[in-house]
Amino acid sequence: MEWYINRGSKNCFFCERLFREEEEYYSALYDEDNAFTRKDFCMECWNEKAGEGVFSYWKTKIQKKSETVQKYADTNVFYDLFIKLENENDHSRVNFRYVLSLYLMRKKILKLKTTHKANGNEYLVFKNLKEDKDTKVFIPKLSKDEVFAVTEEIGKLVNCIPKI
């Protein structure tokens, strides 16, 4: 599983200005060459220049220097990714979506109804409590270690808030 991850930069991708303490800015995932790349933008540049080719984005805030606890990104970020990955067939994205579904289940956004087998493949069938509909998630043949690795990657991809 390969992920392109730049772990949250301390400056704007366009104007390269350093973010200030407690400054709000946008983080966006771009779908480039079959990998997700994260770029961070100051508000001004986001409004003027970003937008094209964005797969998913969210607002981030630079932490205060004194804050030691890393805040988890909003569940909506993960939900948005989960929805957008619905029709993806790429191996690593299928794994990604599976791990996201486990996370959303823990957050009580998805509720496991049953499992389903078709053509030698196994699926989890969830009720999407947000939209009141069912959704099917392919269960990849991942070892515990691989699930852990994907989980960690998702955390880094979305959750990293740099300190200044």
- The sign of the torsion formed by the CA atoms of 32, 99, 58, 66 equals negative
Q: Is 45 in the site for Zn ion (CB under 5 A)?
A: yes
Per CB under 5 A, 42 contacts Zn ion = yes
What's the sign of the alpha-carbon dihedral 99, 105, 111, 113? positive
Give yes or no for residue 14 binding Zn ion (CB under 5 A).
yes
Q: Is 12 in the site for Zn ion (CB under 5 A)?
A: yes
For position 81 contacting Zn ion by CB under 5 A, the verdict is no
With CB under 5 A, what is the number of residues at the site for Zn ion? 5
Give whole-number Cα distances, 13 to 5, 16, 116, in Å: 14, 6, 44
* Shortest distance, position 162 Cβ to Zn ion, whole Å: 15
Rounded Cα distance, 119 and 105, in Å: 25
Of 4-12, 21-29, 64-72, 92-100, the segment contacting Zn ion by CB under 5 A is 4-12
Contact set with Zn ion (CB under 5 A): 12, 14-15, 42, 45
